[in-house]
């Protein structure tokens, strides 16, 4: 009976043993996996208008929308097109956000910054 009470971990409340790396004699701490959440998470499709003039995009262009959201170009490309308060549709495609502007045949990759 005396041996049973002296077993390692008996009654200590340890739920899982430490993980040992095969090349090391000490345990390696493994934090729980983290899920990245962008600071301004957006779901679904955004259908709004640009607040004011639109002159296309030049590499890191920032647009403020009528709904208060602010989006920035996240991949370099250049396209000129002038419009006043054009309708925009922002949608997710393959883990990236694309913005379509009425009257423009191209789409630009964007990210929400506010």
Residue whose C-alpha is closest to residue 16's, from 34, 35, 32, 33: 32
> Residue 4 falls within a domain, yes or no?
no
In a domain, 41, yes or no: no
Residue 2 is predicted with a pLDDT of 47
pTM: 0.63
Give the pLDDT confidence of 3-58 residue by residue, as tens digits: 444 445 455 555 666 665 566 555 556 666 665 555 555 678 999 999 999 999 99
User: Where would I find the H helices in the chain?
Assistant: 2-5
Q: Which residue is associated with the tokens 């259908």?
A: 47
Domain contains 17: no
The verdict on residue 62 lying in a domain is yes
Q: Over the stretch 65-96, which tens digit does the pLDDT of each residue have?
A: 999 999 999 999 999 999 999 999 999 988 89
């Amino acid at each position: 009976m005396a041996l049973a009470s002296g077993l390692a971990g008996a009654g200590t409340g340890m739920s899982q043993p430490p993980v040992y790396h095969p090349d090391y004699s000490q345990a390696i701490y493994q934090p729980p996996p983290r899920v990245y959440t962008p600071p301004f998470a957006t779901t679904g499709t955004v259908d709004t208008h640009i607040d004011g003039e639109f002159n296309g995009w030049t590499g890191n262009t920032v647009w403020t929308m009528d709904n208060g959201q602010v989006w920035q170009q996240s991949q370099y490309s250049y396209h000129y097109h002038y419009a006043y308060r054009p309708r925009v549709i922002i949608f997710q495609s393959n883990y990236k956000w694309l913005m379509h502007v009425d009257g423009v045949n191209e789409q630009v990759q964007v990210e929400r910054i506010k």
